[in-house]
């Protein structure tokens, strides 16, 4: 017996299809041809907590940047979490210069030793090719604490900043009263 090709996919199949579409869109945006858009930037990072706790601390690690100013190097962050809200400053020290980014976002609950976070970022300042750079975008990260008891294993974080940058103040100044605007 033949089945109709138009049957409705199950929840898992539609979730996998949506995930495949999202991955395809991200790859299309991050493809070399898409980098010709002079203001696109994607920054992938990996860090480990170097001091502090879940409410405040510092992380250190590495980053790679694609887009307007391709670069790679070290990244450090200083963060502070109050309830589900997190504010941070990331300093990217690359081979071409230093870029400082302000972050604001929301933390999800810890589930199976993992905690997701997401929010907005904006450029605060920089040196070299980052001098007078303006920009903003979205960020996502996942921190893994592992199955070890607290204090036994350093939490590690993987994430990405994706957005647009330009010379000068093309993006304007955000309204500082807005609750989701990152501060520098």
Give the CATH number, domain containing residue 121: 2.40.128
SS3 22: helix
Q: Which domain holds residue 43?
A: 38-167
Residue 57 lies in a domain: yes
SS3 13: helix
> How far from chain centre, in Å, is Cα 156?
14
**Torsion sign over Cα 109, 82, 87, 74:** negative
SS3 82: strand
Q: What is the pLDDT of residues 23-47, one digit of tens each?
A: 333 333 444 444 434 589 999 999 9
Whether the per-residue pLDDT at 112 is higher than 60: the answer is yes
Residue 45 lies in a domain: yes
Nearest to 74 by CA among 57, 90, 88, 61: 61
Q: What is the pLDDT of residues 145-168, one digit of tens each?
A: 875 555 566 889 999 999 999 987
Residue 93 lies in a domain: yes
Total number of domains constituting the chain = 1
Angle in degrees, CA 129, 132, 135, rounded to 5? 95
Residue 27 lies in a domain: no
Residue 107 lies in a domain: yes
- pLDDT band per the 50, 70, 90 thresholds, residue 57: very high
Residue 163 lies in a domain: yes
The reported pLDDT for the residue numbered 145 is 82
Three-state secondary structure string covering 91-108? EEEECCCEEEEEEEEEEC
The Cα 105–Cα 82 span in angstroms is 11
Three-state secondary structure string covering 26-39? HHHHHCCCHHHCCC
Whether the per-residue pLDDT at 6 is higher than 50: the answer is no
Q: What is the pLDDT of residues 116-156, one digit of tens each?
A: 999 999 999 999 999 999 999 999 999 998 755 555 668 89
Residue 82 lies in a domain: yes
Nearest to 128 by CA among 71, 173, 89, 78: 71
Contact 119, 106 (CB under 8 A): yes
> How far from chain centre, in Å, is Cα 108?
15
Nearest to 122 by CA among 132, 107, 137, 133: 137
Residue 15 lies in a domain: no
pTM for the whole structure:
0.73
């Amino acid at each position: 017996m033949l089945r109709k090709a138009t049957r409705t996919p199950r929840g898992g199949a539609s979730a996998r299809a949506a995930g495949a579409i999202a991955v395809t869109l991200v790859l299309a945006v991050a493809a070399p041809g898409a980098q010709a858009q002079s203001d696109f930037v994607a920054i992938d990072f990996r860090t480990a907590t170097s001091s502090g706790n879940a409410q405040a601390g510092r992380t250190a690690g590495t980053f790679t940047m694609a887009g307007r100013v391709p670069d790679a190097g070290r990244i450090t962050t200083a963060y502070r979490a109050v309830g589900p809200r997190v504010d941070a400053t990331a300093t990217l020290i690359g081979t071409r210069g230093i870029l400082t980014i302000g972050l604001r976002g929301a933390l999800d609950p810890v589930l199976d030793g993992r905690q997701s976070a997401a929010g907005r970022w904006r450029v605060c300042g920089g040196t070299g090719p980052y001098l007078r750079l303006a920009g903003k975008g979205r960020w996502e990260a996942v921190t893994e604490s592992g199955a070890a008891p607290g204090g036994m294993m350093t939490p590690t974080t993987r994430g990405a900043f994706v957005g647009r940058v330009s010379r000068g103040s093309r993006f304007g100044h955000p309204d500082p009263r807005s609750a989701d605007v990152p501060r520098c």
